[in-house]
Structure 1
Amino acid sequence: MASIIAAHGILPRRDGLVLIAPLTLFLLAMLGLPFAIDIVYALSHVTFENIRHPQFEGLGNFATVLRDPAFWQAMWFSLRFALLTATAQLVIGLGLAIFLAPLFALIPSLMAILMLPMMMAPALVGLMYRLLLQEFVGIVPNTWAAWFGDSPAFLSPGTAFWTLSTIEILQWTPFALLILYSAYAAIPGEIREAAALDGAGPLRRLVLIDLPWMAPTLAITFFFRFIDGFRVFDNVYVLTGTGAGGSTTTISIFIYEAFFRHNDIGVAVAASLILLALSFAVLTGLMRLAGGRR
């Protein structure tokens, strides 16, 4: 085999198929089989009582999901939440990466300290903030009331969205900081020095050199944080659950409620497949856009 690779630089077709066969079989077993079962469940009436003998009913579950106002409310909440948190994390992370770059060069261990928030489990973070923001015994509302005479209800339907977004931003901005600082530090210093000799100021160097150089990393970071924010479950469920009137129901919480609370497995799986199709469409569009720009 080694002599063939050395002589021709490529593998024969048969040997290549043999080498990828174990990985292909593994993916079929671990991904293909569960996906096939999901399709069967999505096209059937399934509860915990008849989970071994689902009753085929066609596209009824998909129609139920698409006609449910709660599903679209959850989609709208998840979309707003993901856009806001991903954008904020990208902007704040980029600003910190540029501002703290000289300090990171002098004290590399500082990065490890700033990474601590994202090392905590989201459910634990949600529980911690629930204790801090609890209306009657929480430290934050009591301190706020002592200073200003009254305290807002941080987890009420009117303010919960902004509270949840702030918590998500505080926990996951270090992730954006780590990725963006790595990209910023990889820009050759000679380019900045040449631009400075040509009279370009810091802002001009940022716009014409740093941001274009970091553009792929910025796009990837935004995409990762958007997907993670769109499918958020742990800390939102611990802090507010579905919220009053479903005001803080994310799409993941909607699927969880349909599966475990309403015992409607077919609807839950149908909603999951709709979410998978939408995610695949968005990813395909972004990949085509990136390919066109290249």
Structure 2
Amino acid sequence: MHLIKPGEGRLFLSPLVVFLLLFLGFPAIVNLVYSVSNVSFETLREPHISGFGNYVDVLSDRHFWRASWFSLRFGIITAVLECVIGLFLAIFLSPLLAKRSWLMAPLMLPLMVAPAMIGLMYRLVLHEFAGPVPYYLYLWFGDSPAFLDADNAFRTLVVIETLQWTPFAFLLFHTAYSAIPLDVREAAALDGATGWTLLTKVELPLIKPTLVVAFLIRFIDGFRVFDNIYALTGAGAGGSTTSLSIYIYQAFFKEGAIGKAVAASVILFIVSLIVLYSLTALGRRKGDR
């Protein structure tokens, strides 16, 4: 058996370090420079450093805080719904999938479609004048809600996001739930644990790491959501569906405020790092107990 010498570990890591420096380090440095500069598309090559005015503009912009609140709510609500529904389906369908594993393929179909295509599809289906759903609601019930107006757009987007990405959480939970050893369940049954007690006292604690990971992945993905919202509603009526990603996009491409857009992205990046580090430290502290 070959033991790795102290110097060999650094040698093995050097390709990864070089990759990170080339493909992540340089753009990060450029973004930091742009975030403290007065820059436009005409002066991209020669930005004029002007201090932290871009950060002040972002933090004093009520639209930034409104977009942040939208992204936070959207990320938490969709992550909770996807994990709860995905866990229920993983447990409920476990006996069926154990006998007919081919059923997993059609259940994963929503993951095969690009989010932007999902947004376009539902934009056509829910369109107030041309969409089939409002048409049949008018035909059968005499009325139909405006699914994409300022009052209902958030709920509509939450439902669409949940429908598309619940299969992802379901796949993770099904894999973890199926991996629980049979002898663990049998031992618990011998101790009198059945039904709800078996689920809450034995099975859920065993798949808890998967639950946490799935929630974090779905929250991060929901928090930075862009493509399906942009294709479905854009910024929305009165900015009602402006996420942080759409806020940055509009500042960069529509307003031409490159420094402001980059400053907002840097703030988002720093906050994300702090949140991830805090959650990692919390999980490590619980693991040490």
Task: Provide TM-score, normalisation by structure 2.
Answer: 0.97
When the two chains are superposed, the root-mean-square deviation of aligned CA atoms in Å is 1.0
Distance 1:194 1:12 in 2: 45
> What amino acid does structure 1 have at the position aligned with 2:203?
D
- Deviations along 1:101-138, one digit per CA (max 9) or x if unpaired, are 01111111111110000110000000000000000110
1:133 equivalent to 2:126? Answer yes
Equivalent runs, 1:53-132 vs 2, <5 Å? 53-132=46-125
Q: Distance in 2 between matches of 1:179 and 1:200?
A: 25
**Superposition map of 1:192-203 within 5 A:** 192-203=185-196
Q: 2:24 corresponds to which residue?
A: 31
Rounded to whole Å, the distance in 2 between the matches of 1:19 and 1:204 is 48
Q: Which residue of 2 aligns with 1:167?
A: 160
Paired residue type of 1:10:
I
CA apart distance, 1:49: 1.5
Give the gaps of 5 or more residues in structure 2: none
3-state SS, counterpart of residue 52 of structure 1: coil
Q: Which residue of 2 aligns with 1:293?
A: 286
Amino acid in structure 2 at the alignment position of 1:37: V
Q: Counterpart of 1:49 in 2: which secondary structure?
A: helix
Q: Deviation of residue 192 (structure 1)?
A: 1.4
**2 CA distance for matches of 1:88 and 1:26?**
37
* 1:156 lines up with 2:149 in the alignment: yes
The equivalent position to 1:11 in structure 2, one of 5, 9, 32, is: 5
Pair 1:205 & 2:206 matched:
no
Question: What's the % identity of the aligned pairs?
Answer: 55
Pairwise CA distance, 1:17: 2.9
- Cα distance between partner residues in 2 of 1:207 and 1:23: 42
CA distance in 2: counterparts of 1:19 and 1:188, whole angstroms: 36
Deviations 1:158-190 (A, max 9, x none): 000000000000000000000000000011111
Shift of 1:39: 0.4
TM-score by length of 1: 0.96
Tell me, yes or no, if structure 1 residue 277 matches structure 2 residue 251. no
Task: Please give the alpha-carbon distance, in whole angstroms, between the structure 2 residues aligned to 1:111 and 1:56.
Answer: 54
In structure 1, the gaps of 5 or more residues are none
Please tell me whether residue 51 in structure 1 is matched to residue 44 in structure 2. yes
Partners of 1:19 and 1:172 in 2: how far apart? Answer: 37
Q: Which amino acid aligns with 1:216?
A: P
Runs of 4+ in 1 over 6 A off after TM superposition: none
Distance 1:54 1:153 in 2: 45
> In structure 2, what residue type is equivalent to 1:231?
R
Corresponding residue number in structure 2 for 1:145: 138
1:207 counterpart letter in structure 2: T
Determine which of 22, 41, 46 is the counterpart of 2:34: 41
Paired residue total? 287
**Cα offset, 1:18, TM superposition:** 3.0
Counting only pairs closer than 5 Å after superposition, residues 219-234 of structure 1 correspond to structure 2 as 219-234=212-227
Residue 42 of structure 1: CA displacement? 0.3
The 2-side partners of 1:136 and 1:245 are apart by 20
2:173 to 171, 177, 180: 180
Structure 2 residue matching 1:161: 3-state secondary structure = helix
**Aligned mates of 1:241, 1:162 — CA distance in 2:** 15
Alpha-carbon distance, 1:287 to partner: 0.4
1:198-225 alpha-carbon deviations (Å, 9 max, x no partner): 2222111011011100111000000000
CA positional deviation for 1:50? 1.1
Which whole-Å deviations, capped at 9, do the CAs of 1:21-72 have from their partners, x for residues lacking one? 2221121111111100000000101111111111111100000000000000
Residue 243 of structure 2: aligned partner: 250
Deviation at 1:193, TM superposition (A): 1.8
Separation (CA, whole Å) in 1 of partners of 2:72 and 2:10: 41
Report deviation, 1:236: 0.5
- Kindly provide the amino acid, as one letter, of the partner of residue 285 in structure 1: S
